[in-house]
Amino acid sequence: MDLDQLKQILDLVRDYGLSEFEIDHEGLRLKVRKDVAGVAPAASAAGSAPAIVAPLPTGSASAGSLAAAVQGTAEPTKPGDAEIELEVVKSPIVGTFYRSPEPGAPSFVDVGSTVKKGQVLCIIEAMKLMNEIDSEYDGEIVNIYVENGQPVQYGERLFAIRMR
């Protein structure tokens, strides 16, 4: 992968409005993530530019220098802040977002709730199939981005979780 290819990737991330992108290619693992709710000050300052978080060069010198170059391109300050503190759960499908198992029932989680990996966070309905969305992390819910009953798009942010 050369710098042109990396630039193409960043352009794609921006053009398609992706909030997160990850690629594992010939020993270079690259993870691009946009600002999450202003929690990472450096990313906020960069506006909507993609923040590059925790690229993991796996040995080769070229991979290492590429990773550094990418950091320099889009994110001049510490790129690791958001990664350490916060994970964002995004919608894996297009559908309707529900915070409780049925109307009138308590929400699966609220802001401040402690969650464990595998715990149900919400339901997204598509084609009359109720999809439970599980937490992939242990932590605390610090933000819920979508109102109950609203449509969500693929990749749309649902929850922010402060990692334990």
Partner 1 sequence: MPDPLPREFAEALESSRHRLGRLGSPVVFFSTIESTNDIASASARAGDCEGAVVIADRQTAGRGRRGHAWFSPAGSGLYVSIVLTPARARVEGDRATTLLPLAAGVALAEAIDRMTALRVDIKWPNDLLVARRKLGGILAEAVSAPLAPAACEKLEPEAKLTPTGAARELNTVDTVVVGYGINVGPMAYPPELSDRATSLALELKRPVARAQLWVETLAAMSRRYEDLLEGRFDAILDAWRERAPASRGACVTWNTPEGLQAGVTEGIDSRGALLVRVGDCTERIVAGEINWL
| Coil/strand/helix, residue 112 | coil
Site string for partner 1, 124-153 (x = CB under 8 A): -xxxxxxxx-x-x-------------xx--
Q: Output 60 or 150, the one with its CB closest to partner 1.
A: 150
**Least separation, in Å, of the C-beta of 140 and partner 1?**
19
Least distance from partner 1 to the Cβ atom of residue 131, Å: 5
The rounded distance, in Å, linking the Cα atoms of 30 and 134 is: 25
Tokens representing 150? Answer: 């609203």
Compute how many residues bind partner 1; rule: CB under 8 A. Answer: 32
Give me the least distance between CB of 39 and partner 1, in Å please. Answer: 18
For strands 151-152 and 56-57, give the pairing.
unpaired
Sign of CA dihedral 109, 111, 136, 155: positive
What's the CA gap between 129 and 127, in Å, rounded? 5
Interface residues with partner 1 (CB under 8 A) are 20-22, 31, 88-96, 98, 102-105, 118, 125-132, 134, 136, 150-151, 155
